[in-house]
Structure 1
Amino acid sequence: MEILHWMNDQLLKMEWLNVLVARLVEDVFGMDLDQRIGGSVHFFIYDVIKIFILLSVLIFIISYIQSYFPPERTRKILSQFKGVKANTFSALLGTVTPFCSCSSIPIFIGFTKAGLPIGVTFSFLISSPLVDLASVILLASIFNWTVALLYVVVGLILAVIGGTLISRLKLEKYVESFVFRNGMLSDEQSELTRKERVSFAFEQVWEIIQRVWIYILIGVGIGAAIHNWIPENVIEALLGKDHWYSVPLAALIGIPMYADIFGTLPIAEALVAKGVGIGTALAFMMGVTALSLPSLIMLKKVVKPKLLGVFFTIVTIGIVITGFGFNFWQSLII
């Protein structure tokens, strides 16, 4: 167990980096970590470096694995399953695709074009931005493995239930007709060599870093501000875990924003440090990633208002239930 704790602290939480950045801020910058400016600079530098290191390594590994599953092969695999099994497999597939909600929508369209049931494609659409392997590792590095694994389980359950309900409601007619007219996904690609897979993985790392770096910097900056500048009583009055409205309010606050899950994690970390319930912080994070306004606008172009409303309602209810659940059991998981 000792070796596991050491690996978690040094490889995931990167305590060695925390110490190095503290020395940099104190000895080189001449700042006091107990002061607001020094504490903010330390929080910002440490979190940015840690997130970029973990993100790069994890995206490389995930992308290398993903190179074995091009869209057409994935469609063929999914088409072999029916009912809840298909929704479950689709939700699991979403966990190995490191996409934000807007990036997931073109794949959702492609799967729908290819003839997969819309409930199955919605399970993918829910899980892809909400849960991925990289975010699980980052959650563990910020909180602990219990929180990270429970978050995965809850996210997958939400994706499976959401997709299953949409299937049962027979809402295919509320998908815009052009989605079905544009043909199938591309043909099966030729088998890649190991060198090509490595090259693909590096390309994915670079592409995703280019797409999310600004959101990470903004998220860490907001987290640093919350952590060191906003008084705890202000946060407590607005989002304190004893307030019944804190969870739905946090989810609604997140919807107008657009950020990748990696940019919302530092904010969630800072909120919990200020006394906000972990369920409330996760509800905010899930609202940003699964129900961001830009992604809803994009989705509205491919589905009609009734289906969009059903999707929004199911996911919102799932997020609120998740938030209350995590707050209720917080003393046992943190």
Structure 2
Amino acid sequence: MFDLFTWLADWSAYHLLGLEQGSRLAEAVHFFVEDTAKIFVLLVAIVFVMGLFRTLLSPEKVRGYIEGRSRGMAYLLAVTLGAVTPFCSCSSVPLFIGFLEAGIPLGVTMAFLITSPLVNEVAVVILASIMGWEMTAVYVAAGLGVGLIGGILIDRLHLERHVEDYVWKIRMGALAEIEADSSLGGRVRYAWGEVTDIVGRLWLYVVIGIAIGAALHGYVPEELFARYAGADNPFAVPVAVLLGLPLYSNATGIIPVAEALIAKGVPIGTVIAFMMSVVGLSVPEFIMLRKVLKPPMLVFFGVFLTVAFIVVGVLLNALFG
């Protein structure tokens, strides 16, 4: 299925540019062309499909599915819907307020908000196409687990007092819904609008991620990663998580970097911990959440995610060697 992208990379690197096969520059260019073509084709296709899906599943409907459920079922639905609903971080504040206004517990709400950026439906398909379904399943399971444990822990510690007071007084009513146009043409126009909007916001991060991955793939020797990021280095996972903190990307943009790291022999746990840190501890998300969470809650949120990502990385390295 993806042979076309490999052929395009071969033609670009070896025929169009005339690079010597096996050279560092040729390897870097080949990686860049193949991943750029593959990721953008998949990105457009998946966002279009998810845009059609979005016309059927508004934030209000997501809230309605969780509202009134038992606590255990609410947690399971929260992390599941967080993984499959195509809502960007800009929806986090209205969703947060709407969930609490509907009587959904804070822990369940936070489980949804933790899972949603980590397990991105677009990234899952692209990750599977590049690194296989086994690693993708591990990544998804880790993301769901972090969201579930985080929500339960917030619930058990009764951290409601660290939500801004005005949130509890707001009567949100219905969250913003899509303009009603149930015709096929209307749904297609909305889905294509999602493509232009989302791809327009993501393309630079994706290109930067692919460029970094290409540089790692072509120019950084495997011995360097084996020495400093190998499974026998006990500090590799914490350092990977800390390195991800100042970076900002979405799950789609960081996949090419993860692909290059895996190819260089970096253990899967270290790579997944790094991916989660870049995606889950983003500055824009924390800025938006500050509108509804007090500083102690944000600090707890950040510390929990940092520790959780380190634990996930260490455990996966132990399990997968």
The normalised TM-score by structure 2 is 0.92
> Which amino acid counterpart does residue 124 of structure 1 have in structure 2?
F
Shift of 1:100: 5.3
Asked whether the equivalents of residues 118 and 167 of structure 1 are also in contact (C-alpha less than 8 Å), the reply is yes
Question: Could you say which residue in structure 2 is the equivalent of 1:82?
Answer: 70
1:124 aligns with 2:112: yes
Distance 1:293 1:33, change over 3 A: farther
Look up the SS of the partner of 1:233 in the other structure.
helix
Question: Could you say which residue in structure 2 is the equivalent of 1:133?
Answer: 121
- Give RMSD over aligned pairs: 2.0
Asked whether the equivalents of residues 176 and 303 of structure 1 are also in contact (C-alpha less than 8 Å), the reply is yes
Question: Could you say which residue in structure 2 is the equivalent of 1:215?
Answer: 205
Question: Could you say which residue in structure 2 is the equivalent of 1:155?
Answer: 143
Equivalent pairs counted in the alignment come to 319
1:166 aligns with 2:154: yes
Q: d(CA) in 2 for partners of 1:98 and 1:26?
A: 39
Asked whether the equivalents of residues 181 and 187 of structure 2 are also in contact (C-alpha less than 8 Å), the reply is no
Shift of 1:281: 0.8
Kindly, what percent of the aligned residue pairs are identical?
A: 41
Distance 1:211 1:99, change over 3 A: farther
Question: Could you say which residue in structure 2 is the equivalent of 1:31?
Answer: 19
Which of 280, 303, 324 aligns to 2:293? It is: 303
> Residues 173-192 of structure 1 correspond to what in structure 2 (within 5 A)?
173-186=161-174, 190=180, 192=182
Q: d(CA) in 1 for partners of 2:7 and 2:181?
A: 45
Shift of 1:30: 0.8
Which of 259, 263, 267 aligns to 1:269? It is: 259
More divergent stretch after superposition (201-210 vs 60-69)? 60-69
> Which amino acid counterpart does residue 274 of structure 2 have in structure 1?
F
1:252 aligns with 2:242: yes
Asked whether the equivalents of residues 64 and 201 of structure 1 are also in contact (C-alpha less than 8 Å), the reply is yes
Which of 183, 187, 191 aligns to 1:201? It is: 191
Q: d(CA) in 2 for partners of 1:102 and 1:290?
A: 14
Shift of 1:103: 5.3
Shift of 1:242: 1.6
Asked whether the equivalents of residues 66 and 96 of structure 1 are also in contact (C-alpha less than 8 Å), the reply is no
Q: d(CA) in 1 for partners of 2:282 and 2:267?
A: 22
Q: d(CA) in 2 for partners of 1:251 and 1:101?
A: 21
Asked whether the equivalents of residues 97 and 172 of structure 2 are also in contact (C-alpha less than 8 Å), the reply is no
1:59 aligns with 2:69: no
Q: d(CA) in 1 for partners of 2:66 and 2:186?
A: 25
Q: d(CA) in 2 for partners of 1:28 and 1:51?
A: 21
Shift of 1:286: 0.2
Distance 1:228 1:185, change over 3 A: farther
Asked whether the equivalents of residues 32 and 39 of structure 1 are also in contact (C-alpha less than 8 Å), the reply is no
Shift of 1:254: 0.5
Look up the SS of the partner of 2:85 in the other structure.
coil
Gaps spanning 5+ residues in structure 2: where?
none
Q: d(CA) in 1 for partners of 2:138 and 2:93?
A: 26
Q: d(CA) in 2 for partners of 1:254 and 1:106?
A: 27
> Residues 89-100 of structure 1 correspond to what in structure 2 (within 5 A)?
89-99=77-87
Asked whether the equivalents of residues 79 and 116 of structure 1 are also in contact (C-alpha less than 8 Å), the reply is yes
1:68 aligns with 2:56: yes
Distance 1:32 1:100, change over 3 A: farther
> Which amino acid counterpart does residue 47 of structure 2 have in structure 1?
I
Deviation readout 1:239-265 (Å, 9 max, x if unpaired): 222211111111111111111111111
Shift of 1:182: 3.7
The normalised TM-score by structure 1 is 0.89
> Which amino acid counterpart does residue 148 of structure 1 have in structure 2?
T
Q: d(CA) in 1 for partners of 2:118 and 2:62?
A: 20
Asked whether the equivalents of residues 98 and 129 of structure 1 are also in contact (C-alpha less than 8 Å), the reply is no
Shift of 1:128: 0.7
Q: d(CA) in 1 for partners of 2:216 and 2:224?
A: 10
Shift of 1:295: 2.2
More divergent stretch after superposition (148-157 vs 234-243)? 234-243
Q: d(CA) in 1 for partners of 2:107 and 2:29?
A: 46
Gaps spanning 5+ residues in structure 1: where?
1-9
